[in-house]
Chain A
């Protein structure tokens, strides 16, 4: 039996609603002070990436979102025991609290923008050729031709990047006044001009959707993918780094935590080191 985690929630209370998670297992709250982690007890250590499993993970988080502020946990984060999970929650407690406060009543929207990279580059090349950028290199030898081509390619790439920045600024302008935070990724591939996530107040969702409709109705070469509202996957910032495995290694830390929870002291029968990475299914 393992503890599969879905999300950190801003409540220590029992989850009233019956929610079925992965493997059809019930979802319940493992609480620590005034917060908790929504979990299921599963038989399998590893969760395969299947449509059903990933969508179920997401579905549980979205159901929880109707009642709580939720910090979605990455798919397939598993603990061997409840105590191990509580140890992690204790370690990140302040981070979790800060994120829960910051993300309260907020949702995430995704905006992906595709552009026809080939056509954009062709246009840039045409403009470049018209300008007749003579670098006083006459193409009269293979060496010079090579340098000229290199130079042209460099100019086109540079202009392509600059055009991307300009275009992203125009798109971003539609949303950044409405959103409270944003994460922007430029040109993850040549055609994927922008992959952005915006953090939006629940009361501003309609404004955000309207802004998208406006953007979409503006004639351009761009193609858009709008998605949301999502749990705030992209806006969780954990400042505390488990740089020292000692925290998780030290048996007395665990026993201190167990004592806090009113649980009996744990006796370690084996000599396995308690590394952080070992908490996730022993990998």
Chain B
């Protein structure tokens, strides 16, 4: 779950990382309460690259700021409308640095990543420095080590190290996947200040982070309608562009089934992994979600029951067929409680296909 800039900065401040004294406004008229000029107006969207698209403006007086605030509120950034504008006093920048903490699978743990120049194209920069936090055991010297790698000297080593200490606090306290300050600036007085920030909270950890309760829905971007709905009811769905709806259990089997549909000349409408141990209601929600795309001509259900009880799936399919007698279903249901499931399918008049390749070919033929 990705936080907006002003939310990220709130967490920064709680852990002692300085940020500009900002104010969040939700209407352009609120700008008249702002007393500090020149100021910066920053659109609060979840997508990146807002600066280049006009989402960040500078203003010298209230009239200028009012006009720019109106413009920004009307400006869509990559399909995302601003939730608010963050108004901050314009700062004097002597230097920009990039610093982040994130989990890296190659290092099997968190790393500190930094670059001596901040900026938007940091991912492709070749000046990136890495200090691994081995086994998740952080100590202050790691932040100072990074400072040295960036070429900082004297008091700046301590100041930068201090920022990293606090960034680590943000990272662990909130179960983050990523905490990033970009840019971390050195202002005219030599202070280190987080001018912009990005935080991603790990979604598996939300259940033990009550402060983020109920926030997920308003913090999802780049998702299609079915993907958003799926996320809200715990279903892994990825939108694709074909007409064969796929419902499987287990990520690997779902990917393999999706690959097979392409292999046999069909086009899947989606990837949907119903997860392990799904009950009738969960499978019913999954079937409805897949079928909610009008392009779907046939539903390909491939379930290998290990932790999943085939009877639960069979009952959901029976229910689905009762409501939509004309729906095209290709069903393969193997494993845990298979015989009982077979009986339910027979009673419901749904034929089953035992071999995966046959099932896929059948679905491709129906959809063609």
Are A and B associated in one complex? no
**Which A residues contact B (CB, under 8 angstroms)?**
none
**Which B residues contact A (CB, under 8 angstroms)?**
none
